[in-house]
A and B are shown apart, each in its own frame.
Chain A
């Protein structure tokens, strides 16, 4: 019996562990290893160079620029997405007619949820095809042609959107870092928000529905308005969900690779003039760039940096937002 049990455990775990070790853990370890060498990606001859790649990384203008872009995304994207999602979730759940039955959800809330959530299941390629056209920088683009039709934009001066590398606010320089938000990056953030709001709306909405109705009833009896109820009752009870959302959005903000590759000009994306370059896109386009012989190792150092930053971010966010006492209904 015991022999059969051991054989069973081994048999069931063997294939999953093998696959995971070979295709996930081993590449992770390789990245970490190559990042301290001058490996070219092709030649089997390479040597240990210590942390040279990392030192160079933080002197690389484009990488710092990309890092700055990630920071901009990180400050704008999660906050706007969470606020919009909370707002709409609130509208859905307590925006209905408050007749006899008191406060209730709006009619057709599942239709709204169906529509809002849909972009979440679309692949990045579809999103890219659509939004490239929407933001197209001539009179063939959806927004440009709409604005021209309305007379808000002149025919010979279309808005550039994805081709515009100018920052929407004057660049802020702190030491080696320059923070700016090029128009193209803002466009990408808008698309990400367009895709993400529905997901977090559904998340928050489910959480709101799990709050017992008598809490709202009590608040209403005490004469609280809906807005008061939202800020004093609903929001505090959603704390845990908001913090989870924040962590996920933060991780997504440090990624952004697919959007950059799919939407922006230049080989491998990131254009114009690196105005939309983020860490991941710079890493991917660097790995096999002939501009330096050890570009692969250099890109590996970027990969490790992205991983460290992501882990740090998640740890910090969880620490900041973790609720001290968990409520059970």
Chain B
């Protein structure tokens, strides 16, 4: 849809302020500029506060006692207590949920990237009968909301696993089962994104490698994949965030309590009255869930912003 395509999108550094300009004769009224500057900083600061205050406030709650949380919601803790984090990790099962999430994420993203780039590569660079049909089949999946398939998906996962005699491996409430579902639902966009990317790669290098006797598989893994690195990073970040935050798929597939993912577990902790009230633990659990994503975002925020928005425009 746009020219903000893959090639620049994932790594575009923005200009620090404004590029030095030649025509500095243009004298805009100084006053207007200053008033405008204060005005815009004011509004930007206000929205920044609206975004951060709830976050910081919630994190602070995890250091308080329950009495403080209930009676003095606005104040700082008398003593900064770390106990809630331990309780969240063990008693709140956040530790278990965390590990489940990480396992599924690692499996899901790596398999998505591998299968997605394989399919995108073949579809982008090997003309054959039915190529377009396969490509459009995948792209069609992009336009469908997940609600169209979510109910029978539960039955399908169960049926497939039982049919293959692999209930314990890829059935309901198994890591691998959820990973396969994640991959299936991440493929359309990954293929769509990488397809455009592989098309832009020069064919001269591929031809040279072919002449040197590299087979198709080697050509893919040793020549094309490295060349596609910027695109792979962009869509990789997109998939990491998407799968880390995935909500509806695990809700449907991970029914066993000890197989729950972080999003499910946290929400359970927040909504279920079955648990004895321990507000600090809930906030601590939330903080733990927020930290990895914050860390990733701190390091890669440029790529994340460019990757997610650039992807939207495709």
Q: Which residues of A contact B (CB under 8 A)?
A: 4-6, 8-9, 12-13, 15-17, 19-20, 22-28, 30-32, 34, 41, 84, 87-88, 91-92, 95-107, 109-110, 112-126, 128-134, 139-142, 145-146, 149, 194, 197-199, 202-203, 206-207, 209-210, 213, 217, 220-221, 225-226, 240-241, 244-245, 248, 251, 254-255, 257-258, 261-262, 280, 283-284, 287, 296, 299-300, 302-304, 306-307, 310-311, 314, 328
Contact = CB atoms under 8 A, between A and B. Distances in A.
Given A96-B17, A104-B17, A123 B141 contact: no
Nearest to A133: B58
Contact of A4 (B122, B157, B216): B216
B90 interface: no
Nearest to B244: A123
B309 A199 contact: yes
Given A23-B181, A27-B152, A113-B305, A102 B26 contact: yes
A13 B122 contact: yes
A98 B30 contact: yes
Interface string B1-20: 11110000000101101111
B122 A307 contact: no
B313 interface: yes
A125 B264 contact: yes
B98 to A, nearest CB: 12
Contact of A283 (B47, B61, B147, B293): B147
Given A99-B33, A125-B270, A115 B152 contact: no
Contacts of A102: 21, 23-24, 26, 28
Contacts of B55: 118, 130
B301 interface: yes
Nearest to A322: B1
Given A106-B40, A226-B32, A17 B54 contact: no
Contacts of A213: 18-19, 21
18 contacts: A12-B122, A22-B156, A23-B156, A27-B152, A87-B43, A96-B33, A113-B305, A119-B51, A121-B304, A122-B245, A124-B247, A126-B286, A129-B285, A248-B312, A255-B147, A280-B147, A287-B151, A306-B147
